[in-house]
Amino acid sequence: MSSLVIDKLECQRGYSQLFTNLCFQVNAQEVVRITGTNGSGKTSLLKILAGINTQEQGCVTFDQNVVKSDAYQQEVFYLGHQAALSAELSSLENLEFLSALNQPVAREVLIQALEDIGLKGYADEPCANLSAGQKRRVILASLFISKAKVWLLDEPFTALDPKGIKIVESRIAQHCANGGLCLFTTHQDSALPNQRMIAL
């Protein structure tokens, strides 16, 4: 069974040490919510797991593949604070590029993914004209069609309406039921069942 192993991780930002000797393991089908106050290092942890930041010490592996290796990165999807959209491109073009970065997908799948996330009729709309919540939905659509097993979601519910939050929660549950795993942070209440808490 695949699992994400975090071993003796240490992270430093500027002069402050955020965490040290952090060890835990996340198995397939598990949902882990990372909790902590502002500035406690939740985003830094997710960025290390995503291969963007480098840890001071320790190692991160998924199925024996080390973080930043191609095999590892292929299994990881990171959703950051920004929506990762270009204002000049339409939501379909943006989604096409974002999914190509992971795995190229047929056009019909992309259009269907936009409809599923509640952006029906917005496929050709330039992203400059979308609201904050709609922008988040475009990158969430690319998350939902990616084949990545490890979802690293930093504040996935930001700017979403209650209906949108429901969709994200049910997709996380579905992803984990299919053998994936998910780490996320949020300051909102989440109704996800069986979520394990890890406090920083």
Q: Does 132 interact with another protein (rule: CB under 8 A)?
A: no
CA distance to 26, 52, 166, 170, 194, per residue, from 190 (Å): 19, 26, 9, 11, 11
Question: At closest approach, how far in Å is the CB of 88 from another protein?
Answer: 4
Please pick, from the candidates 9, 31, 32, 50, the single residue that binds another protein as defined by CB under 8 A.
50
Rg of the chain in Å (alpha carbons): 17
Q: Which is nearer to another protein, 96 or 125 (CB)?
A: 96
Tokens of 67: 């973080």
Minimum gap (Å) between residue 139 Cβ and another protein: 8
Part of the chain binding another protein (CB under 8 A), chosen from 30-38, 44-52, 116-124, 170-178: 44-52
Length of the chain: 200
59, 100, 191, 199: which one contacts another protein (CB under 8 A)?
A: 100
Chain centroid to CA 16: 26
If one asks whether residue 2 binds another protein (CB under 8 A), the answer comes out as no
Give the DSSP H/E element, type plus range, for residue 167.
helix 162-177
Exactly one of 85, 92, 176, 182 binds another protein (CB under 8 A); which one?
85
Contact 18, 66 (CB under 8 A): no
Pair 84, 78: CB distance under 8 Å? no
Site residues (CB under 8 A) for another protein? 50-54, 70-71, 73-74, 76-78, 80-89, 93, 96-98, 100-102, 104, 126
